[in-house]
Homo-oligomer: A and B are copies of this chain.
Amino acid sequence: MAAMSSNTSNKGSFKHDLFAQFARVGKALSNGNRLELLEFLAQGERGVDELARVSGLSVANTSQHLQQLRQAGLVLSRKDGLKVYYRLSGDDVITLLGALRGVAERHVADVERLVNSYLTVKDDLEPIPRDELLGRVKHDLVTVLDVRPPEEYAAGHVPGAVNVPLDKLEQYLLALDPQQEIVAYCRGPHCVLAFDAVARLREKGLKARRMQDGFPEWKQAGLPVEEGE
């Protein structure tokens, strides 16, 4: 694409080209839709149609964004029969996404405002650390709620977690012990589903918190993972 410096004595051009390459990765991260696709892919391999459905984009549009992510070296694709499956090109991409979120969280005032406006009482919603959760799950002290769609749940989830997509939350609510603490998680530290679930549960007077981060981080931390229905 960009012309490459043809001789080694042209330092300025080399420098320019090099930063341009880095910028290409940055450019891939400069669009909300692509970030959403990446967060989704952080859970594992996905087909184009799935990605289009979850992101609310057209298939063609999704495909274009995926192309850009591939050119930036962030995702890889694999063709199996009719379908093309995409996945992150490595764990360092998860690291990169985490770093991006971290900076945005800590420094972008608007993010805080957004989160605060969404969650009426922030302190009550302090996330629970992963390792602390694992201990409590073993002793059956908490109910862990996986609010992601069934397909994602099947691909891997926190051991003992119950899969309750948001639209079925109301029904499930009735069956819960009001004393039992509930911990909800979904895709990543900022996945809206978990925020939303906790907010709704608390409305009903239940003790609910978010899990720190989400499933991709859980998996990357090397904690146990359960698969299947």
- Give me the interface of A with B, judged by CB distance under 8 Å: 1, 4-5, 8, 11-12, 14-36, 56, 72-74, 89-90, 92-93, 95-96, 99-104, 106-111, 113-115, 117-118, 120, 190, 192, 196, 199
Nearest chain B CB to A100 CB, angstrom units? 6
Choose among B12, B107, B111 the residue that contacts A89 (Cβ–Cβ < 8 A). Answer: B107
**Contact, CB under 8 Å: B89 / A93:** no
**Contact, CB under 8 Å: A18 / B108:** no
**Contact, CB under 8 Å: A19 / B35:** yes
Q: List 12 A-B contacts (CB under 8 A).
A: A1-B110, A4-B117, A14-B192, A22-B101, A23-B29, A23-B31, A23-B34, A25-B29, A73-B108, A74-B107, A89-B103, A90-B106
| Bound Cα distance from A115 to B114, whole angstroms | 42
**Contact, CB under 8 Å: A73 / B103:** yes
| Bound Cα distance from A73 to B15, whole angstroms | 25
- Per DSSP, chain A at the interface is helix
**Contact, CB under 8 Å: A8 / B104:** no
Q: How many copies does the complex hold?
A: 2
**Contact, CB under 8 Å: A100 / B22:** yes
Residue of B nearest to A95 (CB): B99
Given contacts A14-B192, A25-B108, A99-B96, contact A19 B4 (CB under 8 A): no
Nearest chain B CB to A43 CB, angstrom units? 16
Given contacts A25-B104, A106-B90, contact A118 B8 (CB under 8 A): yes
| Bound Cα distance from A101 to B104, whole angstroms | 18
**Contact, CB under 8 Å: A18 / B103:** no
**Contact, CB under 8 Å: A114 / B17:** yes
Set of chain B residues within 8 Å of A109, measured between Cβ atoms: 73
